[in-house]
Structure 1
Amino acid sequence: MRIFLHTILAVVAYLFSAADMALAETVTVTDVTGREVQVEAPVQRVILGEGRQIYFVAALEREAPFKHIVGWRDDLGKADPETYKAYLAKYPEMADLPTFGGMKDGTFDVEQAVSLKPDVILMNVDAKTATEEAGYIETLAKVGIPLVYVDFREKPMVNTEPSMRLIGKLFGKEKLAEDFIDFRAKSIAAVTDVLEREKPEVPLVFMERAGGYSEDCCMSFGDENFGKMVEIAGGRNMAKDIIPGTFGTVNPEQIIASDPDQVIITGGNWGAYVPGGAWVGVGYGADKGEARRKLEALTHRAAFTGTKAVRNGEFHAIWHQFYNNPYQFVAIQEIAKWLHPELFRDLDPEATFKELHARFLPLDYKPGHFVSLTDKE
C-alpha cells in the first residue's frame, strides 16, 4: 500500500509539473536596459543574481517564495541577517539552495548556473558591465538560458515599476504586480499631494550612506536612490550637485560649510562585514534603543560638529536596504514625517509597512527600520 501511495503521489506531481510546462509559452520581455529577451513563461526555475532579490520575488510569490528559485547569490545573510533568519525559520528549505558569488567581484560560477538549468537568470543592472565583460550573456545564450536585468538600486524611482512589471510577466503574476505598483503609487501620492498643495519650506538634508560602516566619512547619494527619495519627501538633497551619479562621497568640510538642517543615515546589521562596527543596526525587528545609542554616537564626528542638524536633534537613521528593493515608498513616507512633522502628523509609515506585509509579503511585520534622536525615549 505504501509503495502504491508513493506511486500515486509521484504521478500527481508529474501531472502538475507537466501542466505547468504546458501552460508555459515563449514571451518577449524588455528589461530595464532596453534589451528584448525571449523567455519561457511562467518561469519554473529561476536563479537570483542577488539574494536580496527575494524582496521582490516574495511580493509576487507570497505563498511559496522559494518554489521556483534554484540558486541565488550569498549576500542576504550578510547584508540583512534578520530578514534572512526570518525567511529561514519559515522556509527551512532555503538553506539547501545552491549559492553563488557576485558578478562584479568575479566569483559568479557560470558553469554551476548552467548545471541548474534555469529558465531565466535575474541580474541587477549594476552588474551589467561585469556581466558583459565576462561574456556571460553569450555563454548562457548558447545553452538557451536567458538573462534579464532589473533595477531597484541605480535608478529606483525610474525603474521600480518596469522591473515589477517584468517580474510579474515572468512569474505569471501580472495582476499582482499591478496591485503592488498601485499601492506604491498611492503611498507616494500621500506625500507628494500634500507637498504640492501646501508648498512648505524645503529643508537642506544630508543623506549619509552606511554611516559608521567604516571610519571614513561621508558616502552619500546624488540625484537618485535615497537622494531622490529626499526630494520626493520635500527636502533638498545636499549632495545632488556634488555627486554626479547615484553614489559618491562628500568631504566633511563640505558638510560643515553647507550646515544641513537634517541628517539621515542609512544603517543595518553589518556584523558579518564589520564586527562591532559603529553602524546603526536598524532593520527587521531591530533593538531601537541600541540603534538610537549608536546613532547619537555618530553625531560626534567632525563632519557634523556644530551643524543645525545636530544642535536641533534632527539626526535620523533608516534601514539601508530600502535603497535596493521596491519598498522605497515606506522610506519616502518616513523621511517626509521627519522633514515636515506638522504636515504629516497623521501619516503613519509603520502602518503602511504593516499593510505591505499583510497584503503582499509572507513574513509577519516587525518594527525597527527607523530611529531618530527626536524619538521619545
Structure 2
Amino acid sequence: MAAASPVSAADSGALPLDVNGDAQISTEEMTVSVLAYMEQTYAGAGADAGQYSDLIDGAYVYTYWNKTAKTIPDSSGQSVILTRPIHRAVVMNGEAAETMRSLGFDSANVVGVGKYILDDPVFFPEYAGLPNVGSVWSPDYEQIISLSPDVVFIYADFMDSKGDEIQETIQSMNPAVHVLRYDLFSPDTYAGEVELLAAAIDREEEGARFASFYTRQMDTVTGRVAAIPEDERVRVYFEGADDFKSCAEGSGYHDKILIAGGRNIFGNATPSYPVVNPESVLFGNPGVVVKLQGTGKLDFGGYGDDDTSKTIGVYESLITRPGWNTIAAVKEGRVHIIDTDIFGGPKHFIGILYLATWFYPDLFADVNPEEIHQEYLTTYQHSTYDVHSQGVFVYPVTPIV
C-alpha cells in the first residue's frame, strides 16, 4: 500500500513533515515522508517542489535540531522561531555580512544586500551584482519582499526606532519573513553577538572558534594595560575627519581609546563628538595623536585604495599646524593616522591593537597588528587580500623614532 504523502509546509511556516501538528518530527513522520517520496519517484510520478523542499528541510530539522523548531534569540531581545534552515537571506548591514562570512555562512544563500555592501566591492566581491535592497536608512521594501527571503538581517539597537519601523513594515507586507537583528560593532557586545548569530545560521562551532580568536586579541590588550595606573596612562588626542572634531564619553572612539589604555584629553567634553578649540589641544599636550581617515572629507584609503599620497598629505598637514611643534606627540613622532575600515565594525579589534602598540610600544613590542589583520582576512574572511602590499590602513606604518 502506498505511504501517505504529508501536506506541504513550504509556504505555511509550519514545521515540515509534522503531519499531526505536535511541533515535532517523529521517526514515523520522517519515515513516511521518505517512503512517499521514493515511491513517487520510482513510479515515475515525480514529487512536487513543495514535497521535495519539505523532505530536505524536515530531514535537516530531524537530524540537526533535535526534531523540532529552533528558537533564536537575537540582540534586540526578541526570540524568533525557525522551522527551517535559512536558504534565502537578505542582509542589510555590512557588519552582519562580514561576521556571517567569518562564520562560514554560504554566500549563495544571500539573495539581496544593502546599498553600502554593494558600494564596497573590494571587501565584498561575492555580492557584486546582487539585488540592491537600499540602505538601512532608506530600505527598498518592494525589492526585499520580491526576493522572498526567509530572513532579513538588520541592526538591533544602533538605529533605535528605525529598526523597529523596518521590521514592522517588512512583516506587515509578509508575516512569514523573519527579521533578525544584530549590531556587531561594539567591543562590549561583539563576542556575545557572534554566538547569537552563529546559532541562527547553524554555525555554532565556527562561532565559538571565531569568538575565541576575537577575544584573544582583545584580552591581549586589556590584560596588559590593566596594571597601568590611571595617572600614568598616555594622554591621547583623537581627531575625526573634520579638523578639531574630537570624541568624548558616549562615543565609540572614546571607548576604544580607553580599552587600549589611553586617556582621552577631551573625554569629559560635550557633546560626544565635540568640536574643540585648537588652543585647547596645545594646552592638553597629548603624548599621542590619532587622526581618522576613510570617511567624510577624508574618504580615501582603506581596502579600496593603494595610494598613500593623500594620507601622507594629511599627516604632513597635522604635524605642521601652528604651534604643534610644541606638542609632545609631534616632538616624539607619535602622530598616527588610522582608517575607519579597521577602526569600526567587526574589525575594531585591529584598530584597538594598533592603538595599544602606539600608546605603549614597549609593552606591546611582540604584537604585530598587521599580521593579525592578515590572519583575520585569510582565516576568517577567506580572502586573498594582502594587507602587506594592498590598501592604506595606518600611517606611518612603523613608528617614527
Which category of TM-score, normalised to the shorter sequence, fits these structures? 0.7 to 0.9
**What is the TM-score normalised by the length of structure 2?**
0.73
- Take 2:209 and 2:166, find their aligned partners in 1: how far apart are those partners? 37
In structure 2, list runs of 5 or more residues that go unmatched: 1-47, 62-67
Query: What amino acid sits opposite 2:113 in the alignment?
Result: W
- Take 1:120 and 1:16, find their aligned partners in 2: how far apart are those partners? 17
Q: Does 1:108 align with 2:139?
A: yes
Question: Where does residue 301 of structure 2 map in the other structure?
Answer: 281
Question: Where does residue 238 of structure 2 map in the other structure?
Answer: 207
- Take 1:249 and 1:43, find their aligned partners in 2: how far apart are those partners? 43
Query: Alignment partner of 1:99: what SS?
Result: coil
Among candidates 60, 66, 72, match of residue 23 of structure 1: 60
Among candidates 89, 100, 122, match of residue 85 of structure 1: 122
Question: Where does residue 274 of structure 2 map in the other structure?
Answer: 249
Relative to 1, partners in 2 of residues 1:376 and 1:108: Cα closer, same or farther, differing over 3 Å? same
Question: Where does residue 262 of structure 1 map in the other structure?
Answer: 288
Q: Does 1:235 align with 2:255?
A: no
- Take 2:83 and 2:269, find their aligned partners in 1: how far apart are those partners? 44
Query: What amino acid sits opposite 1:47 in the alignment?
Result: V
Query: What amino acid sits opposite 1:262 in the alignment?
Result: V
Among candidates 44, 54, 61, match of residue 104 of structure 2: 61
- Take 1:21 and 1:95, find their aligned partners in 2: how far apart are those partners? 32
Q: Does 1:372 align with 2:392?
A: no
Question: Where does residue 252 of structure 2 map in the other structure?
Answer: 225
Question: Where does residue 193 of structure 2 map in the other structure?
Answer: 163
Relative to 1, partners in 2 of residues 1:76 and 1:267: Cα closer, same or farther, differing over 3 Å? farther
- Take 2:301 and 2:270, find their aligned partners in 1: how far apart are those partners? 26
- Take 2:145 and 2:324, find their aligned partners in 1: how far apart are those partners? 50
Query: What amino acid sits opposite 2:133 in the alignment?
Result: F
Relative to 1, partners in 2 of residues 1:324 and 1:21: Cα closer, same or farther, differing over 3 Å? farther
Offset at residue 177 of structure 1 (A): 0.8
Query: What amino acid sits opposite 1:114 in the alignment?
Result: I
Question: Where does residue 95 of structure 1 map in the other structure?
Answer: 128
- Take 2:189 and 2:260, find their aligned partners in 1: how far apart are those partners? 18
Identity of aligned residues (%): 21
- Take 1:225 and 1:262, find their aligned partners in 2: how far apart are those partners? 18
Query: Alignment partner of 1:67: what SS?
Result: helix
- Take 1:341 and 1:228, find their aligned partners in 2: how far apart are those partners? 20
Q: Does 1:175 align with 2:200?
A: no
- Take 2:217 and 2:393, find their aligned partners in 1: how far apart are those partners? 17
Relative to 1, partners in 2 of residues 1:160 and 1:373: Cα closer, same or farther, differing over 3 Å? closer
Superposition map of 1:261-340 within 5 A: 261-268=287-294, 277-279=297-299, 281-283=301-303, 286-288=306-308, 290-300=310-320, 306-340=326-360
Deviation track 1:129-168 (CA, whole Å, cap 9, x = no partner) reads: 2233x46426515522222221134xx0222122211210
Structure with greater strand percent: 1
Deviation track 1:300-331 (CA, whole Å, cap 9, x = no partner) reads: 45796743333333211222033442222222
Deviation track 1:30-84 (CA, whole Å, cap 9, x = no partner) reads: 222322233345322111122453221211126x4x2221111111354xx4xx2
- Take 1:46 and 1:175, find their aligned partners in 2: how far apart are those partners? 21
* RMSD (Å) for aligned C-alpha atoms: 3.3
Greater radius of gyration (CA): 2
- Take 2:229 and 2:103, find their aligned partners in 1: how far apart are those partners? 36
In structure 1, list runs of 5 or more residues that go unmatched: 1-10
**What is the TM-score normalised by the length of structure 1?**
0.78
Query: Alignment partner of 2:362: what SS?
Result: coil
Query: What amino acid sits opposite 2:289 in the alignment?
Result: V
Query: What amino acid sits opposite 1:312 in the alignment?
Result: E
- Take 1:69 and 1:299, find their aligned partners in 2: how far apart are those partners? 46
Offset at residue 261 of structure 1 (A): 1.9
Kindly indicate whether the alpha-carbon contact (under 8 Å) linking 1:291 and 1:371 is maintained by their aligned counterparts in 2. Answer: yes
Q: Does 1:152 align with 2:184?
A: yes
Q: Higher relative contact order by CA 8 Å / sep ≥ 6: 1 or 2?
A: 1
Query: Alignment partner of 1:266: what SS?
Result: strand
Kindly indicate whether the alpha-carbon contact (under 8 Å) linking 1:123 and 1:150 is maintained by their aligned counterparts in 2. Answer: yes
- Take 1:61 and 1:31, find their aligned partners in 2: how far apart are those partners? 19
Kindly indicate whether the alpha-carbon contact (under 8 Å) linking 1:52 and 1:76 is maintained by their aligned counterparts in 2. Answer: no
Query: Alignment partner of 2:70: what SS?
Result: strand
